[in-house]
Amino acid sequence: MEILAIETSCDETSAAVVEDGACVLSNAIASQVEIHARYGGVVPEVASRQHLLAIVPVVAQAMTEAKVTWDDLDGVAVTMGPGLAGSLLVGINMAKALAFARNLPLIGVNHLEAHIYANWLVESGPAPAFPLVCLIVSGGHSNLVLMRGHGDYVLLGQTRDDAAGEAFDKAARMLSLGYPGGPAIEKAAVSGVASITLPRAWLKGSNDFSFSGVKTALLRLVEADQISNSADAAASFQEAVTDILVGKTVAVAKEYCVKQILLAGGVAANKRLRQRLREVSPFPVLIPPMVLCTDNAAMVAACGYYHFQTDRRDGLGLDVVPGLKLV
Ligand code: KG4
Ligand code: ZN
């Protein structure tokens, strides 16, 4: 089954063609990072206009690179939320137009669920085994989820304040390291030592996360002019966030006796987090390749594939759901 998928929830315009939910035939991504970097963050109005400019060439590129014709496609999947309403609209409208013109079934996909399904994009080797625990860490969400089967989720923990990616972005801004903050902190941390003591909010008895304490502690040090080396500060911050994410994920995995741990979302591209989780976990750990961690349409196609296996179909009345939750 060949699915064309579209992703426009934030600042990446992406289209992909994926076969049988696993084999990526193409995954075209037009990033708006350079445009938003001028403003230090995503400007929603600018983002939707850029999606409008990029969507047709990106879909055309995905079709060309996949070497498929419109007749080869079996369905269209599109991100319906969560995300920026104006950005989501562009992708959904394009997906509807294609589904209508080619008489193809259409399915709306949850962006967070799509991040999880990036772990199914493995051409060789076994697919993830249930039950599993997945840590989804992105710019807007930090969710710890027990997955007992396809579409069967139990939310075990979530952030009480900033998402992990948001915390990275804010810390980078404090340290004047640029935007987007996650990759900037990671890059600076390479030449630093995690020598600054920063607090870890373990929230005993809860699987939730909180990053406001570590963020405020860093801010106090910056305000008091006590950061002499921003690389050390970046390394220390990265270590504190990684400790919490890894510690809580492994504890929950033990509690639920899972077969596997999955990592997903933009922050899963962080090398230190990937390395620590693999070092500490007594369970097999699956993490998508870097390009499939940050926003992309291949993961939307993988997720859409599993929905197409059920009887679920969304008609052309599909709407955006900017505040959509996973569970
Ligand atoms: O999943 P994603 O691409 O978009 C959303 O759905 O939000 O995640 C973006 C977030 C940003 O906060 C970005 O700073 C963070 O992921 N991120 C990283 C890295 N690459 C992206 N955080 C830490 N280390 C990275 N290498
Ligand atoms: Zn995302």
Average pLDDT of the chain is 97
- Residue 196 and residue 276 in one domain: yes
Domain membership of residue 324 (yes or no) is no
Domain membership of residue 325 (yes or no) is no
Distance of CA 267 from the midpoint of ligand 1 (Å): 4
- DSSP structure string for 71-105: GG--EEEEEEESS-HHHHHHHHHHHHHHHHHHT--
- Residue 90 and residue 45 in one domain: yes
Q: Return the residue whose CA atom lies nearest to atom 14 of ligand 1.
A: 182
Number of independent structural domains in the chain: 2
Distance of CA 244 from the midpoint of ligand 2 (Å): 20
Q: Which atom of ligand 1 is nearest to the CA of 111?
A: 6
Q: How confident is the model at residue 123 (pLDDT cuts 50, 70, 90)?
A: confident
- Residue 165 and residue 283 in one domain: yes
Q: Residue 306, SS3? A: helix
- Residue 281 and residue 298 in one domain: no
Domain membership of residue 184 (yes or no) is yes
Q: How confident is the model at residue 122 (pLDDT cuts 50, 70, 90)?
A: confident
The answer to whether the CB of 31 falls within 8 A of the CB of 14 is no
- Residue 6 and residue 136 in one domain: no
Ligand nearest to the CA of 211: 1
- Residue 302 and residue 258 in one domain: no
- Residue 158 and residue 75 in one domain: no
Ligand nearest to the CA of 293: 1
What would the pLDDT profile of 155-197 be if each residue is shown by its tens digit? 999 999 999 999 999 999 999 999 999 999 999 999 999 999 9
Cα-only R_g, the chain: 20
- Residue 36 and residue 147 in one domain: no
- Residue 174 and residue 101 in one domain: no
Ligand 2 is an ion; residues with CB less than 5 A from it: 138, 295
Distance of CA 115 from the midpoint of ligand 2 (Å): 7
Q: What is the pLDDT of residue 124?
A: 80
Q: Which amino acid is at 51?
A: H
Domain membership of residue 210 (yes or no) is yes
Distance of CA 300 from the midpoint of ligand 2 (Å): 10
Q: Which of 249, 239, 203 has the alpha carbon at shortest distance from 218? A: 239
- Residue 276 and residue 136 in one domain: yes
Domain membership of residue 218 (yes or no) is yes
Token pair 């340290």 in the structure block, residue: 175
Ligand 1, residues 267, 291, 295, 303: which to mutate, most atoms within 8 A of Cβ?
A: 267
Distance of CA 117 from the midpoint of ligand 2 (Å): 12
Query: Which CATH number goes with the domain that contains 260?
Result: 3.30.420.40
Q: Which atom of ligand 1 is nearest to the CA of 169?
A: 14
- Residue 169 and residue 92 in one domain: no
Distance of CA 71 from the midpoint of ligand 1 (Å): 35
Q: What is the pLDDT of residue 83?
A: 98
Domain membership of residue 283 (yes or no) is yes
* 53 Cβ contact list (under 8 Å, min separation 6): none
Q: How confident is the model at residue 299 (pLDDT cuts 50, 70, 90)?
A: very high
The answer to whether the CB of 218 falls within 8 A of the CB of 200 is no
- Residue 63 and residue 177 in one domain: no
Domain membership of residue 322 (yes or no) is no
Domain that holds residue 69: 2-118+292-317
What would the pLDDT profile of 228-259 be if each residue is shown by its tens digit? 999 999 999 999 999 999 999 999 999 999 99
Residue ranges lining ligand 1, Cβ < 6 Å: 10, 138-140, 165-166, 168-169, 180-183, 186, 265-267, 269-270, 294-295
Domain membership of residue 58 (yes or no) is yes
